[in-house]
Amino acid sequence: MPIRPADHGIFASSGGGVTGAAYIAGGREASVVATVDKFAFPDDSRSTLGTGLATATRYMGGASNGAVAAYFAGGYQTSQVATVNKLAFSDDGLSTLGTGLSIARYQLAGAANSGTAAYFAGGAWTRKTTVDKFAFSDDGRTTLTTGLSFANYTLSGAANSGTAAYFAGGNTSSGNVDEVDKFAFSDDGRTTLTTGLSSTRGSLAGAANSGTAAYFAGGYGASRLDTVDKFAFSDDGRSTLGTGLSAATDLLSGAADSGVAAYFAGGYDGSATVTTVDKFAFSDDSRSTLGTGLSAARYELTAAANSSALA
């Protein structure tokens, strides 16, 4: 059974249903792995990249630059790291940024303003308020003057590209929280939503239908949850989907084919690590479960996606 507290928030947005893919990276099976599974849009077929992460890593944050590249940041190897891996979508080639995170950390969250910058927020060993920003023009890093409203880890991220990043839930010194911090891309200013998650929880996953809504799924509060909360970008109002995950799960990952569907993959359901990939259609928020799941059961993983719809 996984040791609490645990992972992450992960964000990705992607593909328009024409081209693109979700990339599910790293995590723990019997041991920590460097595996990257790729689910092609729109047929959801799975392949596993010949070259995975540079090093077996769990508890990373993930974000994407449109149809250009995925960024997998931080995480835990034999200790917490500051490494940022960049996976180019043109050939699935992997490189490592010369400048990593400002502080080595894991259990962090990622979100991105496609075409502009990736944001990596929070994390542990000790809880952080830190938000690092990587400009896509040159992969240069700055650190926001205003960080999270609480020192936080096991949070999740999602973004309305061009408008704002949302970092939701997690664990602070007071325990699990329901807060959602919103960072406006225009000036990187932070506000905290009046209405947070439907319950306090960490170890959840996030994904977004850019221009429409963010989805935050699963996690651990008083127990594991199958809940999927939806935040409409028009007014930041929250609703909770009538149909949640196929099982109450934490330590999972999230990615999205923007305009089409959100994918929530892997995790721990209280009795076993799973290969499950649940897909939520944005047209009606209905859930299906892919016939082909991950290449192996794993948790403490992250995700990002080739967002052709945002290119």
Each residue's pLDDT tens digit, 68-98:
999 999 999 999 999 999 999 999 999 999 9
Question: Looking at residue 309, what is its pLDDT?
Answer: 66
Each residue's pLDDT tens digit, 300-309:
999 999 976 6
The domain limits of the chain are 21-310
Question: Looking at residue 311, what is its pLDDT?
Answer: 60
Each residue's pLDDT tens digit, 144-176:
999 999 999 999 999 999 999 999 999 999 999
Q: Are 255 and 206 in contact (CB under 8 A)?
A: no
pLDDT at 8 over 70: no
Q: Which fold has domain 21-310?
A: Neuraminidase (2.120.10)
C-alpha 63/C-alpha 68 separation (Å) is 11
pLDDT at 266 over 70: yes
Collapsing DSSP to helix, strand or coil, 310 comes out as helix
Each residue's pLDDT tens digit, 15-60:
333 479 999 999 999 999 999 999 999 999 999 999 999 999 999 9
Please report, for residues 36, 69, 117, 197, 297, the alpha-carbon distance to residue 92 in angstroms, rounded to integers and kept in the order given.
Answer: 10, 9, 20, 35, 23
Question: Looking at residue 307, what is its pLDDT?
Answer: 78
Count the Cβ atoms, other than its own, within 10 Å of residue 234. Answer: 10
Each residue's pLDDT tens digit, 192-247:
999 999 999 999 999 999 999 999 999 999 999 999 999 999 999 999 999 999 99
pLDDT at 6 over 60: no
Report the predicted TM-score, pTM, of the whole model to 2 decimal places: 0.94
Question: Looking at residue 308, what is its pLDDT?
Answer: 66
Residue 4's pLDDT band (boundaries 50, 70, 90)? very low
